[in-house]
Amino acid sequence: MSVARSLLNAWLRRVERPHLARAKDPQRLRRSFELKARLFLHGPRGATREEGTLEHGGRQVPALHVRAREAGEGPVVLYLHGGGYVFGSPRTHAAMLATLSREARCRVVLPDYAKAPDRAFPAAVEDALCAYRALEAEPGGVILGGDSAGGGLALAILGEIVRLGLRRPRGLFAFSPLTDMTFSGASLRENAACDAVLPAERAGEMAEMYLAGHDPADPRASPLFAGFAGAPPVWLCVGDTEILRDDARRMAERLRAQGVEVQLREHHDLPHVWPLFHNVLPEGRATLREVAGWIRSL
């Protein structure tokens, strides 16, 4: 493991995790993340960002189209950003996805799906499914992606795609996905003290804000309980010190039990969604290159 990993973990534990533990106002969280992304997260030169709208069945979802100079006309990645369903945006993740666009040589579309508490469950699922339906006829096909809550959202709409009998995407990848809103995984307790980013004590509050009284075991909220028979290949990664470690482990087990081809990468002591820190973290760059190779193999 790199020296950068140790330094980044120390900074995250000292600065970012306490900030997430005490922040109460969603608007302040959103502004803080946007500012830090502009200051610290940078994509490759020549990459373009274009705002647009995805529409299906009369529903419209704002979206950011990201494309590196090296991107071709193959499949499009539909990427759902993380942020606990409360904060984050296509802009906070655009640099990482521009880097992935360069490595995978494909276009990326990031929908700006509904956030809680402004628009609670199932609005985010409906927006994400609308975005997929708007792109499903792409000649090169669609690859779903996401991180954290967005990774769970990607898996949730994959479950809906299978349930509804829609055209399948070519594959799905997720970084540190949140797959179980009942929080029954042992790692939520076992890794509560060592997770570098996520404060375990805020999980229930986030779920309450997002679910607004809905059943946390609903497969659209917790894809761990969804059906995936006939789904395309899935690639997952997670850190062994994350509170969401068991969300990824159990998700991989459920997918395999239903006959889905799964690759799970579990790395030691890397922070939550470490590819986001690709500018300073060699392991982040390596993971983006690995998932890019997996995308090209599809």
Backbone conformation region of residue 23, classed left if phi is above 0, alpha if psi is from -120 to 50, else beta: beta
β-bridge partners, 146: 80, 174
Six-digit token string for 185: 């995984």
- Cβ atoms of 270 and 239 within 8 Å: the answer is yes
State the DSSP code for 14: I
Backbone conformation region of residue 84, classed left if phi is above 0, alpha if psi is from -120 to 50, else beta: left
- The residues that are catalytic are 148, 242, 272
Six-digit token string for 115: 């956030």
Please tell me the distance from the alpha carbon of residue 56 to that of residue 111, in angstroms, as a whole number. 13
Please tell me the distance from the alpha carbon of residue 26 to that of residue 226, in angstroms, as a whole number. 29
Neighbours of 189 (CB within 10 A): 12
Six-digit token string for 48: 């373009």
Per DSSP, the chain holds a count of helices (H) and strands (E) of 10, 8
| Residue 297 CB partners (closer than 8 Å, separation 6+) | none
Query: For the CA atoms of 132, 136, 142, 143, what is the dihedral angle to 10 degrees?
Result: 40
- Cβ atoms of 140 and 100 within 8 Å: the answer is no
